[in-house]
Structure 1
């Protein structure tokens, strides 16, 4: 079928809305009519740094309605509302033990440009177009593996739910699935974008006593307070490490580092108390550490976390329940854009005007 999609034809090139051909869903796949899709920093990285083959249709926080089901799919039906998450094989040891975020073929399936069987579902004038994260949701329709789709209740606004598949899942899952902070402990979040603010909401759910937000934008620190931060520090004005030690009585037990800035990564370690843990979730370049002073001498840990170490079909419905109960108001991060405003949405995300842009496709 012919669909409208935002195609990126080369490294750093802007999105071009175009008509492309979408194949029918194959064995184990479904087709989804995309209602809305989030804009994530990873999409900008893929557009600008060439981590996936061009031409490509990006987008990996889609939500929509199932409108076709391929052979072998028994747990989803036409008309179901779904949020789309990352691709994973579902068969390797890591997938089968509840860690699909480190699937043995994660990079190939999410960044390699093809589907599980190595073929393509998107074409233009006979040329294959790469798929991103197994979904390519910057399009009116998407074909995905059924196990990448999460059925959600129809009484929740479907247009809101796409970002649960990546950015919001990453922040909340890092806290609730991986760090699992003990009640009454201290947790610091470095960077108050969508990932960081989701971590703050999750820390409130977990019952952390001190939830400290660090950012350089006062407007985002104000939003962090609204979403559950008990204290805020401006990294451009305050002594962050000493501030955290003072607030928490010697350092935090936990940290979530979302910025990818080497100096902030070091801060996240230096502000931990002995045996503390810092979870690194941002794309981070080389970092120089004094391993003895920053890490080993006080038994600290630095861990990497992908997609919040989540099992999407388990975790996303939990987040929806928290949202419905008023405990996870992630809608406060969102601003909607029309599909034709995709370039503006990316610019507003880059300059901080919007925390989490969502493109409406209908």
Structure 2
């Protein structure tokens, strides 16, 4: 079938083109996309931090409505509302143990441009292959995806808000709820109050953490963090966050979540902890970090943990997060800013300069919640 998509080439970040999209095969689903989030991981492809074979259609936080299903699909049917998650094989040790975020084939399935069939459903009108991204390529009007990429969600919830649950919101909240698993009363610090950091902070609030400390360099974002549940905020341009966190907590924090990828911030995420504390980092950083392992980690029995996609099984965590959103416990509507698909370039600019915390591209302008 013919679709419209924002294609990325070495010459141009985004250009709207007509592409061919293959019909769903055995175990695949065709989804009419309603909206899609803009994520920092998309930007890392544009700046070549993460290489994906061009040309490619980016986008990996899609939400939409099932149009058609291939043979042997059992979890969704046409008309179902869905969120598209990341690709995972479902067969490696980690997947079988319930940690799809740690899939051994994560890089291959999400960044190689090919799906589990070692092919892409996207081609140009001249039949040139176009890389699929994260098994979905949601900067498009339709997507053909593996059934494991599909998460059925509540039809009563506005689909335009739900795409980022497939990556950014799941990463932040899953890192808290699945990875570090704080107990009520544990102290929690988030470094970076973007979409991932704030969703982690909201999960910490749901988990009963106290105090909840937000660290950033933007006063406006810290004000939003306070509105969303931070008990304390620190602008690290104005004061030493490590000293202030230890002043607030006494012994240091039980847990920190580092979302920036800036080496100095990662070190602060370690140094602010109490003995036996855990720092979880989820960022894609460009710079190396050098530190003395004994002084920074061993001496205080600390843990520095790298987390991918919130150690989550999307089919388990996303419906739970959507229910939190529906009940008002996860007010991500305060984080998002809507754009037309054709304004994707501006959405990336606004995401980079901080004027939009979570840009969402509206693809189906006729959709009504």
Same fold (TM over 0.5): yes
Shift of 1:134: 0.2
| 1:108-187 alignment, distance < 5 Å | 108-124=108-124, 125-187=126-188
Structure 2 unaligned segments of length 5 or more: list them: 365-369
Shift of 1:105: 1.0
> What does residue 26 of structure 1 align with?
25
Structure 2 counterpart SS, 1:238: coil
Shift of 1:328: 0.8
Shift of 1:321: 1.0
> What does residue 56 of structure 2 align with?
56
CA distance, structure 1, for counterparts of residue 15 and residue 335 of structure 2 = 27
Structure 1 counterpart SS, 2:203: helix
Shift of 1:71: 1.1
Shift of 1:209: 1.0
Structure 2 counterpart SS, 1:279: strand
Q: Does 1:293 find its partner at 2:292?
A: no
Deviates more, 1:282-291 or 1:120-129: 282-291
Shift of 1:239: 1.1
| 1:1-362 alignment, distance < 5 Å | 1-10=1-10, 13-49=12-48, 51-124=51-124, 125-284=126-285, 285-362=287-364
Structure 1 counterpart SS, 2:360: strand
CA distance, structure 1, for counterparts of residue 332 and residue 362 of structure 2 = 17
Structure 2 counterpart SS, 1:129: strand
Structure 2 counterpart SS, 1:174: helix
CA distance, structure 2, for counterparts of residue 71 and residue 138 of structure 1 = 26
Structure 1 counterpart SS, 2:86: coil
List per-residue Cα deviations over 1:181-231 (Å, max 9, x = no partner): 111010100000000000110110000111000000000000001111000
Structure 1 unaligned segments of length 5 or more: list them: none
CA distance, structure 1, for counterparts of residue 296 and residue 91 of structure 2 = 38
Q: TM-score, normalised by structure 2?
A: 0.97
Structure 1 counterpart SS, 2:213: strand
Shift of 1:46: 1.1
Structure 1 counterpart SS, 2:109: helix
Shift of 1:250: 1.8
Shift of 1:91: 1.4
List per-residue Cα deviations over 1:138-182 (Å, max 9, x = no partner): 000000001110000100001100000000100001001110111
